[in-house]
Amino acid sequence: MKYSQAKRITLAILKSGGVPYLEGEPGLGKTALARDVANESFDGNVIYAPVPTMAREDWTGIPDVSGSLTTFKPMDWLPRADRDGDVGVLLIDELPQGDEGVLNGAARLLLERELHGYKLPKGWAGIATGNRSKDKAGCRPLPTHVRDRLTVVPLEADIDDWAAWAGQSGVDHRVVGYVRHRPDALQEFDPKAEVCPTARSWARLSNLLPHLEGKDYLPAFSGVVGEGRAAEFAGFLRIFDRLIPVSKVFDDPEGCEVPEDTDVTIALVANIARRVSEDTIGAALVYGKRLGREFSVVLVRDILSRHPDLAETKEVCQYRADNADVELG
């Protein structure tokens, strides 16, 4: 299921007292989804437990043999209400990659909410994530007795959901524009490839982009999304050098030229969505209609993801009414 639906279902599972298990290809955004849930409903409090780097003792605690009976002192990283807040999310990442001891400890804490005398605070919820075993990404199938007690939320790539998330998360508009133009490039995980594009790697490329010179684009991008997509994206960036100035679009939306090339149109739409404001939203929508309905819808979706404050403007409300058959976000 796509990101937005998976987030709604995850929240519903938590409200019902269940434990969601977010499952999907590497780099798809499972951890980001769990953090979004924490930000929306748990005051942003997250304790992150990366299973592949943890040892059995991180879960069982350290044996205390000072008394007549051996007890276990809980590890300090576990959530405590007095230190970490009354509500929060214990995010157990990559659950299937733990060895038997780690897996048993993590599962008990998730499902029983206690472990060797430690109790998860009442206002805290547990979320687990994991890759699919069929992706051959270093994980094994979850034991049946564990999987049966979790509620599996299968996550899949969706370009509109990712673009909305990217707009809200500050991903470079040129990256969003390229991935919208090449939606198959969003998630191309290949266990045999050393580097491949994923939803996560495009966000990482966006962070890298402003620190690079043009001559370094291709080798740097190749290390993030692979050589093929790196070459395509570097070419896409060159399109921005010959774009119609956005100021010209805003000044004369009915008379300004309309690009004939699809790549240029996609790039221009991304640029308009980044630069639009309350003063220019009307002009942007007028020009968008001249690009054709498909590009017009993409423009409005990207505007709303980057500028949610524009959703209630009269121009956007009228656009919604005129295009009631389309989901705009």
Rounded CA-CA distance 37/153 in Å is: 14
Look at residue 14 in the predicted model and tell me its pLDDT. Answer: 96
What domains sit in the chain, N to C, each tagged with a CATH number? Answer: 3-154 (3.40.50.300), 159-322 (no CATH)
Check residue 247 and give its pLDDT. Answer: 93
Tokens 């969505």, located at residue: 273
pLDDT per residue as tens, the chain (329 positions)? 999 999 999 999 999 999 999 999 988 899 999 999 999 999 999 999 999 888 888 887 777 777 777 777 778 899 999 999 999 999 999 998 888 888 888 888 899 999 888 899 999 999 999 998 887 766 778 888 888 889 999 999 999 899 989 988 999 999 998 998 889 999 998 888 889 999 999 999 999 999 999 899 999 999 999 999 999 999 999 888 778 899 999 999 999 999 988 889 999 999 999 999 999 999 999 999 999 999 999 999 999 999 999 999 999 999 999 999 988 87
Angle at 240 between CA 236 and CA 242, to 5 degrees: 115
CA contacts within 13 A on the Cβ side of 65: 1
Q: Which secondary structure element, helix H or strand E, spans residue 146, and what is its range?
A: helix 144-147
The answer to whether 88 touches 42, Cβ cutoff 8 Å, is yes
Given this model, what pLDDT does residue 141 score? 81
CA distance 86 to 83: 9
Structure tokens at 169: 């998360």
